[in-house]
A and B are shown apart, each in its own frame.
Chain A
Amino acid sequence: MPNVYNWQLGREMSYPYEAAFPDWQWAFVFNINRCIACQTCTYACKSTWTFSKGQEYMWWNNVETKPYGEYPRFWDAKILALLHDAHQQAGEEARWDTFHKDDKAKPYGTYEGLTIFEAAERQAPQKEVAIGYEPTDDEWAAPNLYEDTAAGAISHAGDTTLEPTALPEHKTWFFYLQRVCNHCNFAACVAACPRQAIYKRKEDGIVLLDQERCRGYRKCVMACPYKKAMYRPTTRVSEKCVGCYPRIEGKDPMQPGIPLETRCMSACPGKIRIQGLVKMDPDGNWAEDRQNPIYYLVKVAKVALPLYPQFGLAPNGYYIPPRWAPRPYLRQMFGPGVDEAIERYVAPDRELLAVQQLFRATQQIIFKYEVLPGPKVFEATIRGRPWEMFDDTVIGFNKNGQEVVRGKVQEPQHVRPDKHYNSI
């Protein structure tokens, strides 16, 4: 297989195709710390794209409760187990060299383990382009099964009555993980398709599946470690998230000609999401674009990290990790950048605070932002960390350079009058 450079791994890796990158790349940042799992994003997507017969179990966007929840069930536990087994068989260890970093080429250090493509190469004979599995119907059938709610009483054979019992429940810690297709740089679905029915668009990096070419072999379903390619039994072809490409192209009738965020992003009431397009260099890294909010969050502030970078797909979804969850779990999920990301998030500098105000502030994609300085309004040491807040103003601009949003770090508070307290 050809070698391609994966900047998230800080090294070259094997991939079935030669490297080819789009001019712009669709990408997003989710702040896990603010998500309440209301599933508004999930239903915004469902009601737009997957409401038809045969799509009942298809949730292109889902929010699952970690560490207990998965959709499809066990997806990450299963692929992590497969990758672990592959390392054991190869006598290798999945570890990161974090001593040698480079801001552009290896911001998280170097991953010295196997990716899912390299693990497949070690199989003799090689069976697939990437290690993976196809989830069962049961695993697809019930998103959010046994997650936040109690699991119910456990019955035993021969019992005719159930003893009064306290229902089992999760304890200690959890967080919500929001998931959509990552429109990866090195997509496993693209690599695995024997019909070359899946392709990455040059204009925005969105990965699309040509249903005319697809014959429903489900190799994409097997290979995608994030399990975001899905099979539709009524049409016998596979389907996947389309990145709301008509909105990205500016074809939404609401604002013709203006790129809009996807439905799942723009519906978020918790303001945890921001989505945009980043300029790409020919080598597959991001071109410097300092005032692009996504570029700033991922490359400058480094508070947002890719999901399971060790799989080797260079996913384009980035997450601000939850500050309260155990670090070993988070390092496995988001790589070795977790500690630095959380340090910066819990004591943010003034630019990071300002940029956070852009999350879900407008439906239009923000291509550039500016921060106008305001007065210092807060200064303290919180649990040993110096913390300052400036009431700066942040301004977001759309693709045409027009101002589309303006907000301050101190958001105005509006208190509903008593007589309307509980009305909508």
Chain B
Amino acid sequence: MSKEFEPDDPMELVGVELPGGDIDQALDDLVLEYLSIGWSPTEIMFLFRSPHYQATHNIYRQKGHGYVKERIENLAGEWNRGWIAGGMSNA
């Protein structure tokens, strides 16, 4: 069973999908946030694969394993090119 959002019932935001938001933007922003604190692509992928992390896992289910993996790798690649001598990597 799934419930649609009912605009005339704004007080009951229970188990419904609220319109709005950009799932690709959210995916990129979440990945970049974790890259910026030093997480590796493998660690970030875990957040998306695990059903215990609902925000990231919902993106994983909607976009699929391959899409999420590729996006994380691309962003991590872009990010890792920035490290210069003396810097840590997100390995």
Partner of B32, one of A34, A148, A382, A410: A382
Q: Is the CB of A326 within 8 A of B15?
A: no
B63-87 interface mask toward A, CB cutoff 8 Å, 1 = contact, 0 = none? 0000000000001001101111111
A376 — nearest CB in chain B belongs to which residue? B84
When A172-B58, A329-B20 are in contact, do A324 and B25 touch as well, CB less than 8 Å?
yes
Q: Is the CB of B21 within 8 A of A382?
A: no
Within 8 A of B (CB), among A358-386: 375-380, 382-383
Spot the interface stretch: A101-109, A163-171, A244-252, A293-301.
A163-171
A375 CA to B17 CA, complexed, in Å: 47
Partner of A151, one of B15, B33, B54, B84: B15
**How big is chain A's contact interface, by range?**
35 or more
Partner of A172, one of B21, B78, B82, B87: B21
Q: Is the CB of B38 within 8 A of A391?
A: no
A60-96 interface mask toward B, CB cutoff 8 Å, 1 = contact, 0 = none? 0000000110000010011001000000000000000
Q: Is the CB of B20 within 8 A of A166?
A: no
A134 CA to B34 CA, complexed, in Å: 40
Partner of B11, one of A74, A148, A151, A167: A74
Q: How far is the CB of B68 from chain A (nearest CB, A)?
A: 15
Partner of B38, one of A148, A379, A413: A413
When A377-B87, A389-B87, A411-B38 are in contact, do A151 and B21 touch as well, CB less than 8 Å?
no
A23 CA to B6 CA, complexed, in Å: 49
Q: Does A140 contact B (CB under 8 A)?
A: no
Q: How far is the CB of B27 from chain A (nearest CB, A)?
A: 8
A413 CA to B88 CA, complexed, in Å: 10
Q: Which 6 A-B pairs have the closest CB atoms?
A: A168-B15, A380-B82, A377-B87, A151-B15, A173-B21, A324-B29
| Residues on A facing B (Cβ under 8 Å) | 33-34, 67-68, 74, 77-78, 81, 146, 148, 150-151, 153-154, 165-174, 323-326, 328-329, 346, 375-380, 382-383, 387, 389, 391, 410-411, 413
